[in-house]
A = this chain, B = another copy of it.
Amino acid sequence: MADARILYLVPGPISRARGVEELERRRSLLQGWASTGTDVGIAENDDGPGSIESAYEEYVSVPGSMRLAASAERDGYDAIILGCFGDPGLDGFREILSIPMVGPCEASMHVAAQLGHSFGIVTVLDSVVEPLRKLARVAGLDSRLATVVSCDVPVLELHDDSYEPVLEACEQALAAGADALILGCMSMAFLGVAERLSDELGVPVLNPARVALKTAEFLTSCGLSHSKRAYPVPPKIAAGTVAVL
C-alpha cells in the first residue's frame, strides 16, 4: 500500500488537445520525481477549456475541477495538485476538501522566496501576467516578486523547440532584478527545461509541477492540511442542506 496517493488534477481536457498519451507522460514524470511510497494519479476535467491563458478560462475550469477534487477525496486520495499555474479556485477547493490542495504558483512562490531575495516568473503570454501578479498580491508576497515576463508562446505551442524563447524571457527576468526563477505554466513545467535553464543561468529555476508534488508529499508526510478555520466548509454544505455539486 502506498504511503501517499496524490492526484494531479488537470483542469482541462488535455488529452483532447495533445493526445491521451500526454496525460500518462505527465503522470509518469511526476511519479519519477516522487519519493518511494508515493503513488501519483492523474485526472482531467472534461468540462474545462482547451488551455488556460486568461482569467476567463481559469474561472471556466473551476466547477468541473471541483467535482473531480471532491470525488478524489472520497476515493481516498491523500492530496491533490491543481494542475494549472494560475491556481484557479484554490480557496474554493480548500473549503470543500479536508485533504491538502496544492497550488503550484503559491507553492513555488513560497519556495522561491526561500532561495533568493526577489523571484521572477516566466510565463506563456501577456494575458496571464496580471493574473499571476494578483496571486503574488493575494499571497502577500508582492514585495518579493521582481517581475513576470512572458515568452509569447501559447500553451499549446510549447514543445521541444521552446527552449530559446523561454531562456530569453528568463534573461529578461534576471535583468529586472530576479535572483531566482519560476516557470509559470504547467505545460512549461513538463517540457523538462528547468535544470538546463538553471545550469545555463546560474540561478535556481523552479519547475512548478515538481515543487507542487514535493509540497504535497511534504504535507501528507507531516499529517498537515489547510486550516478549516481559514477555509471553512460552506455553511449550507456543513448544514447538510446542499450537497457538494
Checking B63, B215, B230, B237 against A180 with a beta-carbon cut-off of 8 angstroms, the contacting residue is B230
- A236 in contact (CB, < 8 A): yes
A111 touching B110, Cβ below 8 Å: yes
- A23 in contact (CB, < 8 A): no
Chain B residues with CB under 8 A of A1: none
Chain B residues with CB under 8 A of A228: 202-203
Of the candidate stretches A74-82, A89-97, A158-166, A184-192, the one touching chain B is: A89-97
A165 to chain B, nearest CB (A): 16
A179 touching B230, Cβ below 8 Å: yes
A140 touching B141, Cβ below 8 Å: yes
A51 touching B236, Cβ below 8 Å: yes
- A57 in contact (CB, < 8 A): yes
Checking B50, B58, B95, B204 against A56 with a beta-carbon cut-off of 8 angstroms, the contacting residue is B95
A residues whose Cβ falls under 8 Å from a Cβ of B: 33, 35-37, 49-51, 53-60, 62-63, 66, 89, 91-93, 95-96, 102-103, 106-107, 110-111, 113-118, 125-127, 130-131, 133-134, 137-144, 154, 174, 179-180, 195, 202-204, 206-207, 210-211, 214-215, 217-219, 221-232, 234-237, 242, 244-245
Beyond contacts A62-B63, A91-B131: 4 other A-B pairs, Cβ-Cβ < 8 A, are: A35-B35, A49-B242, A115-B225, A179-B230
- A-B pairs with beta carbons under 8 Å apart, 13 shown: A33-B221, A53-B234, A55-B95, A63-B63, A91-B134, A113-B140, A126-B232, A137-B138, A202-B229, A207-B222, A211-B222, A215-B218, A218-B218
